[in-house]
Amino acid sequence: MIRVEDATKLYGRAGADGAAVHALNGVNLEIKAGEFVSIMGPSGCGKSTLLHVLGGLDRLSSGGIFLDDVAIHTLDENGLTDLRRRKIGFIFQFFNLLPTLTVEENVRLPGLLQMVSGVDIDERSAKLLESVGLAHRARHRLHQLSGGEMQRAALARALLLRPPVLLADEPTGNLDSEASAGVVKLFRQIGETHGTTIVMVTHSREVAASAHRMITMRDGRVVA
Ligand SMILES: Nc1ncnc2c1ncn2[C@@H]1O[C@H](COP(=O)(O)OP(=O)(O)OP(=O)(O)O)[C@@H](O)[C@H]1O
Ligand SMILES: [Mg+2]
């Protein structure tokens, strides 16, 4: 499903001043369809950068990324936008929810924006809110939620359109161990029911261990 070949991402300009950062420094990786992979590694080792380039939010400096055999490093901006809409669900550390909308409005939003037909957005959104434990908060506005509740709302929203690929950056970062276990369980269910390919960055060894496979990064490389 996902193949990364000798990917590098250089921020800044190489030179004597040491300002350049090799956020990715020759990453090679293959992830099968339906696989649930976790990525661990010290702060600054390139985990978020890798998710961004996988999701077409940022570009490589060199190397290639293939998603379903589409060479996404060769796509132009329109191509990348289209790819993100059709294939990718994102869950980020800073969740991009809209504070003035209610929880259920936030979750339904991707469905409204894309005007999907033949899908009962309201019903699906209600089920997702139930499974992330937020059914009782559906009509609350975002700013009335705790950090962990917002994170779970972001998760429900990312899953609404059942993207084939789900990219999650520390999706349990603000959650206690019980809520974390709930999110991980939901990921596994989504994977099993819909064959979703999931790449999840986490700092928690326990959360990471619940994936099918754990990848460790260091200094812009996959080391294990
Ligand atoms: N826009 C940018 N400009 C310059 N350097 C950047 C930029 N984004 C990231 N970096 C650098 O690239 C490296 C990798 O950053 P990245 O955000 O991928 O790390 P990370 O593994 O996700 O860390 P964390 O666990 O703290 O989230 C870091 O050294 C960071 O300072
Ligand atoms: Mg990060």
Q: What is the pLDDT of residue 173?
A: 85
Q: What is the pLDDT of residue 15?
A: 65
Share of the chain above pLDDT 70, in %: 96
Domain residue extents for the chain = 2-222
pTM: 0.90
The pLDDT tens digits for 108-158 are 988 887 777 777 899 999 999 998 889 999 999 988 888 888 888 998 999
What CATH homologous superfamily does 2-222 map to?
P-loop containing nucleotide triphosphate hydrolases (3.40.50.300)
User: Which one, of 173, 180, 176, 147, lies nearest residue 47 by Cα?
Assistant: 173
Average pLDDT, the chain: 91
What's the CA-to-centroid distance between 170 and ligand 1, angstroms? 14
Ion ligand 2: residues, Cβ under 5 Å: 48
3-state secondary structure the chain: CEEEEEEEEEECCCCCCCCCEEEEEEEEEEECCCCEEEEECCCCCCHHHHHHHHCCCCCCCEEEEEECCEEHHHCCHHHHHHHHHHHEEEECCCCCCCCCCEHHHHHHHHHHHHCCCCCCHHHHHHHHHHHCCCHHHCCCEHHHCCHHHHHHHHHHHHHCCCCCEEEEECCCCCCCHHHHHHHHHHHHHHHHHHCCEEEEECCCHHHHHCCCEEEEEECCEECC
What's the CA-to-centroid distance between 220 and ligand 1, angstroms? 10
Which neighbouring-strand residues pair with 141? 102
What's the CA-to-centroid distance between 213 and ligand 1, angstroms? 23
Residue 12 has pLDDT above 90, yes or no: no
What's the CA-to-centroid distance between 14 and ligand 2, angstroms? 22
| Residues in contact with ligand 1 (CB, 6 Å cut-off) | 11-12, 21, 23, 41, 43-49
Identify which of 47, 54, 58 to mutate to test ligand 1's pocket (most ligand atoms within 8 A of the CB).
47
Calpha distance 165→182 (Å, rounded): 20
For strand 62-67 and strand 70-71, is the pairing parallel, antiparallel, or unpaired? antiparallel
| Cα pseudo-dihedral 90, 53, 42, 3, rounded to 10 | 100
